[in-house]
Amino acid sequence: MKVIAEISIMPLSSGSSIRNEVALAHDILRKTGCPVELHAAGTNIEGELDVVMDAIKRIHEELHAHGTARAISDVRLETRVDKTDSLRERTEFMGRPAAH
Using CA atoms, how far residue 27 sits from 22, 48, 79, 89, 97, in Å, is 8, 18, 24, 23, 22
Residues 61-83: what's their mean pLDDT?
A: 92
Q: Quick one: pLDDT at residue 97?
A: 58
Q: What is the pTM of this model?
A: 0.82
Reported as a single tens digit per residue, the pLDDT across 15-65 is 667 888 889 999 999 999 999 999 888 999 999 999 999 999 999 999 999
86: confidence class by pLDDT, cuts 50, 70, 90: confident
Start-to-end Cα distance in the chain: 23
* Contact status, residue 100 vs residue 37, Cβ threshold 8 Å: no
Residue 83 binned pLDDT confidence (cut-offs 50, 70, 90)? confident
